[in-house]
Structure 1
Amino acid sequence: MEDKKWLEAVNDSMQLERIRKANDYTKKFGLFLSEEEGALLLRERKEVLRNQERVEFGEGILPKLIYAFCDSPYIYQDNYVETMGRLQDIFYFYKNESLDEYTDDELIDFMKEQFDGPCQGSLDYLEDTRLETFARRARFGRGLYEEEDEEG
Structure 2
Amino acid sequence: MENNIVSISDLFVSKETFLEVQKCNEKTLEYGLKLSAEDINIILQTRKESLIKTGRIELGGELIQKIILTFCDSPYISQYNYIETIDDIIETFYYYKNETMDEIGDEDLINLMKNYFDNECQGSLDLLKYKYLDNIVHNIKYGVKNYLSMNEYEDEEDDK
TM-score normalised per structure 2: 0.88
Residue number in structure 2 paired with 1:150: 153
Q: Which of 87, 90, 93 is matched with 1:91 structurally?
A: 93
Percent pairwise identity: 36
* Amino acid aligned to 2:148: Y
Unaligned stretches of 5+ in structure 2? 156-160
Q: How many residues align?
A: 152
Per-residue deviation, residues 72-123 of structure 1 (Å, max 9, x unmatched): 0000001000001100111011011101111001100110000000000000
Residue number in structure 2 paired with 1:27: 29
Deviation larger for 55-64 or 23-32: 55-64
Residue number in structure 1 paired with 2:133: 131
1:108 matched to 2:110? The reply is yes
Q: Which of 107, 116, 119 is matched with 1:117 structurally?
A: 119
SS of structure 2 residue aligned to 1:99: coil
Q: How does 1:5-44 map to 2 (within 5 A)?
A: 5-44=7-46
CA contact (8 A) 2:132 2:150 kept: no
Structure 1 Cα separation of the partners of residues 146 and 58 of structure 2: 25
Per-residue deviation, residues 47-85 of structure 1 (Å, max 9, x unmatched): 111112221133342111100000000000010000011
TM-score normalised per structure 1: 0.93
- 1:26: how far off? 0.3
Unaligned stretches of 5+ in structure 1? none
- 1:144: how far off? 4.6
Structure 2 Cα separation of the partners of residues 133 and 59 of structure 1: 28
Q: Which of 59, 62, 81 is matched with 2:61 structurally?
A: 59
Max Rg structure = 2
Structure 2 Cα separation of the partners of residues 40 and 48 of structure 1: 12
